[in-house]
Amino acid sequence: MTASAARDPEILRDSAEVVVVGTGAGGAVVAAELAEAGLDVVLLEEGEDVGRRDFTADALAQVRRLYRQRGLTGTIGNTYIPIPLGCAVGGTTVINSGTCWRAPQEVLSRWEREFGIPDLVDRGLAVEYERVESAIGVAPVPESLRGPGDERIRRGAEALGLRGEAIPRNAVGCRGTGVCIFGCPRDAKQSTNVSYVPRARAAGARLYARCRVDRIAMDGRRVRGVLATRRDARGRAAGTFEVRAPRVVVAAGALLTPVLLARSGLARRRSAVGRHLRIHPATRVLARFDEPVRAWAGVPQSYHIHEFESEGIFLQGMWLPPELQAPAVPGVGRVHKERMAAYDRLASFGALISDTSSGRVLSLGGRPLAWYRMNRDDARRLLRGIAIVARVFFAAGAREVHPGVRQRPVLRSMAEAEALEHLAVRASDLDLMAFHPMGTARMGSDPARSAVDPTGRLYGASGVWVADASVFPTSTRVNPQVTIMAMATRIAQRLAEARER
């Protein structure tokens, strides 16, 4: 059952063999794998236990309900970069687009060669990927569900001779309602709230939603359990909750995990905790056509152009309802209204890069303060991605393109799109966002360079593991969710083995 600690004031304590903090891509997988291996597991989640009946497809209501700080989380540095995070049972998987890509083998091999994580050069994460992909039903988006904006892109890419294809997603029985990032109202998207969390619970794990873990309790170097604040349905503090356990797995996401470790006194001086933040800076490019596109009618992230992946440039579908598309439309007042009135003729497409820049997460009163400076090379590569998308849109017949670049807010021709790439830009000239924070408790065999060992165990403490996007030693290059899940599968197996010894 969902033991809603706030509703049952008598439940103030529990104990388990393992406590898992967070129910997103990492935490839910660890909890299910461990519970199915016979361990007694407690799963704690700060957000609500939500389900299909809550997912009304109303973007603003869902942002309030499912997004941390109503979507206003992000990084500061040489510009502001919003990074939305999910806060619900299922974590950010509830609000993600469902795209499922394996990290390229060269990335995994590098993790072995440079960071000493064994078994990656020879077999990668193939076994774990297969296990995850079959659990969440990964398959390419059928043509019939392709978003009309993505279809325009496909045609434009074909005209320019660029290679692209349907995106593999974890959406079983998808009907193309197009609101994946506000919670799938059909339970088609196999976010962890409908896949791994129910599995964990079926195997006996106890889930406590609306419980924010404030601190990992230690006896010297050995973990004793966790202390959490319970919240009522309106978000007000409703008492404390203690779970005793000899093992704690932290999977609060790459922006929150370092904060929890720091609050618990587990971020040693000069340790890797909180450092090496990667985010995959991204942006969207809008295009206006002469004829109606009705880009909302299909899967918003259904097609990608993979021609430029060797440069670390990833071009993939992205569509948003009017309330979230409007801020990216250039202009204010009447000019802006004029452009929004053509909403049914708009299409948009995303560009993201695998970053070489990095940042840092600090704990400020228990909230993450993320600092990230995007370097010129990354800004240039992203600009190249934007320029390519603009060209593809013009090749598909767009009348006008809004690239989100300060110096050129509106492009009106292919020639202008081609010239865009040669503009000198800084990060702050681009309308940025990011969706893939990672790396803030990176894995490796050298405690001086890494936060956790190759099994996921935190250096400098006994009984604390990390199993979320934080553990990646470098950028995964591609969208990370299945790699997080595959790594979490491996970490769970190592943890279960360690317990048997």
Partner 1 sequence: MSGGGRRVLDAVLETLVPEGGAFPEGAPTFPLAERVEEFVRGAGAGTAFRLLLYGIELYPLLLPRLGRRRFSRLPLEKRERVLAAWEASRFWPRRQALHALKMIVLSQFYGQPEIHARLGYPHPLARVPIDDLPAPRETP
Interface pattern 397-436 for ligand FAD (x via CB under 6 A): --------------------------------------xx
Query: Exposed, middle or buried, 105 (CB in 10 Å: 0-12/13-18/19+)?
Result: middle
Tell me which residue has tokens 């434009």: 156
Using DSSP bridges, classify how beta strands 41-44 and 18-21 pair: parallel, antiparallel or unpaired. Answer: parallel
For partner 1, the binding residue among 131, 215, 336, 399 (CB under 8 A) is 336
Q: In this structure, what token pair is assigned to residue 43?
A: 């799963």
According to the binding rule CB under 6 A, does residue 168 interact with ligand SF4?
no
Please give the angle made by the CA atoms of 214, 216 and 218, to the nearest 5 degrees: 140
For ligand SF4, the binding residue among 7, 175, 222, 412 (CB under 6 A) is 175
CB of 344 to partner 1, least distance (A): 5
Interface pattern 159-188 for ligand FAD (x via CB under 6 A): ----------------------x-------
Q: Are 318 and 287 in contact (CB under 8 A)?
A: no
| Per-position b or e across 51-60, b if 16+ CB within 10 A of its CB | eeebbeeebe
CA dist 60 and 64 (Å) reads: 6
Residue 260 parent element (H or E): helix 257-263
CB of 334 to partner 1, least distance (A): 4
**436 given a catalytic annotation:** yes
- Footprint (CB under 8 A) of partner 1, residues 72-91: 72, 78-80
Q: What is the DSSP code (8-state) at residue 71?
A: G
Is 225 or 321 the residue whose CB approaches partner 1 more closely?
321
According to the binding rule CB under 6 A, does residue 189 interact with ligand SF4?
yes
According to the binding rule CB under 6 A, does residue 41 interact with ligand FAD?
no
Is 20 or 181 the residue whose CB approaches ligand SF4 more closely?
181
Q: Which stretch binds ligand FAD (CB under 6 A): 40-48, 125-133, 151-159, 493-501?
A: 40-48
Strands lying side by side in the sheet with 206-208: 206-208, 41-44, 18-21, 247-250, 464-466
- Footprint (CB under 6 A) of ligand SF4, residues 282-301: 299
According to the binding rule CB under 6 A, does residue 180 interact with ligand SF4?
yes
Is 62 or 75 the residue whose CB approaches ligand SF4 more closely?
62
CB of 373 to ligand FAD, least distance (A): 21
Choosing from 276, 280, 402, 436, the catalytic residue is: 436
Q: In this structure, what token pair is assigned to residue 282?
A: 């991204």
Residue 299 interacting partner from ligand FAD, ligand SF4, partner 1, none (CB closer than 5 to 8 Å by kind): ligand SF4
Q: Are 368 and 361 in contact (CB under 8 A)?
A: yes
Interface pattern 86-125 for ligand FAD (x via CB under 6 A): xx---xxx-xxxxx--------------------------
Distances (CA, A) of 252 to 44, 112, 242, 256, 421: 10, 25, 18, 5, 38
Is 156 or 480 the residue whose CB approaches ligand FAD more closely?
480
Closest by Cα among 140, 52, 45 to 85: 45
Distances (CA, A) of 381 to 22, 77, 168, 208, 357: 34, 19, 25, 43, 12
SS3 label, residue 285: strand
CA dist 177 and 175 (Å) reads: 6
- Chain-centre distance for alpha carbon 371: 18
Q: Are 116 and 444 in contact (CB under 8 A)?
A: yes
Residues that bind ligand FAD (CB under 6 A): 21-27, 44-47, 84-87, 91-93, 95-99, 181, 212-213, 251-254, 256, 260, 301, 435-436, 468-469, 479-481, 484
Residues that bind partner 1 (CB under 8 A): 1-2, 49, 51-53, 56-60, 63-64, 69-72, 78-80, 175-179, 185-187, 194, 198, 296-297, 321-327, 330-338, 340-341, 343-344, 406, 409, 426, 428-429, 431
Supply the residues annotated as catalytic.
Answer: 436
